[in-house]
Amino acid sequence: MSMTSTPPTTDAEDRRILVALALALVEQPRASLQELSRAIGISKATLYRFCRTRQALIDRLATHSGQVLDEVITSARLDSAPPLDALRQLIASHLEHRELTVFLMYYWKDASTDICAHCEWDKALDAFFLRGQQAGVFRIDISAPGLTEIFISTLIGLFDAERRGRVARVGLAALIESAFLDGTRTQKP
């Protein structure tokens, strides 16, 4: 029978293109549409059929990234799970969607539509880190937004370092977690 049900959001091929585009747009922000399409292995015409204008492309990517990161936030149970468990889940989920995470970090200001999932995104993180502070898990001599920024910096920076081959893919999540939580000073226990 194979009833082709209506795809809920975007089908697999579309998502493949979106991820590839996110990566290409971050690596070469000034690439032309021609260069972009070649970079992800499709023709300019197909890219045009996918999105008619560059702005529509950015908006679509921003919307999609926002949706995915909303799921990331939700699945981490930031408001209920034990902070360190939520943090680990947060890192793992972001790692699964590195390209979209990095894209949204670089392009959230460029999305014309006020989707701005980013705003909700870092608000959710701020609230999470505040809760973690109140639970005695995170340092209280750094503001919650400060913790959010340190977290995102470590996340994005090490995703990028892995792309450049500076750190290994294996153990990346653990590296991020430990760098964020424990720092780089020789431990003294």
Partner DNA sequence: TCAAAATGAATCTAAATAGATTCAAAAGAT
Partner DNA sequence: ATCTTTTGAATCTATTTAGATTCATTTTGA
Q: Which residues bind its own copies (CB under 8 A)?
A: 29-30, 136-140, 142-143, 145-154, 156-158, 160-161, 166-167, 175, 178-187
Q: Which stretch binds DNA (CB under 7 A): 28-36, 61-69, 97-105, 124-132?
A: 28-36
Provide the residue type at 153 as one letter: S
Per rule CB under 7 A, is residue 77 in the interface with DNA? no
Residues 6 or more apart in contact with residue 13 via CB below 8 angstroms:
none
Q: From its own copies, DNA, none, which one binds at residue 167 (CB under 5 to 8 Å depending on kind)?
A: its own copies
Tokens standing for residue 21 = 């585009």
DSSP H or E segment with residue 21 = helix 12-27
- Judged by CB under 7 A, the residue of 48, 74, 123, 140 near DNA is 48
Cα(151)–Cα(180) distance, integer angstroms? 6
Q: Which is nearer to its own copies, 66 or 132 (CB)?
A: 132
Tokens standing for residue 153 = 């910096």
Contact 91, 168 (CB under 8 A): no
Q: Which is nearer to DNA, 54 or 131 (CB)?
A: 54
Q: Which is nearer to its own copies, 14 or 122 (CB)?
A: 122
Q: What Rg, from alpha-carbon coordinates, does the chain have? A: 18
Q: From DNA, its own copies, none, which one binds at residue 153 (CB under 5 to 8 Å depending on kind)?
A: its own copies
Angle formed by the axes of helices 117-134 and 54-75, nearest 10°: 20
Smallest gap from residue 93 Cβ to DNA (A): 28
**Angle 118-166-16 from CA coordinates, rounded to 5°:** 50
Per rule CB under 7 A, is residue 45 in the interface with DNA? yes
Q: Which stretch binds DNA (CB under 7 A): 29-37, 117-125, 134-142, 165-173?
A: 29-37
Cα(120)–Cα(66) distance, integer angstroms? 9
Q: From DNA, its own copies, none, which one binds at residue 80 (CB under 5 to 8 Å depending on kind)?
A: none
- Judged by CB under 7 A, the residue of 16, 27, 29, 49 near DNA is 49
Cα(159)–Cα(139) distance, integer angstroms? 24
- Binding interface with DNA (CB under 7 A): 2, 13, 32-34, 41-46, 48-49, 52-55
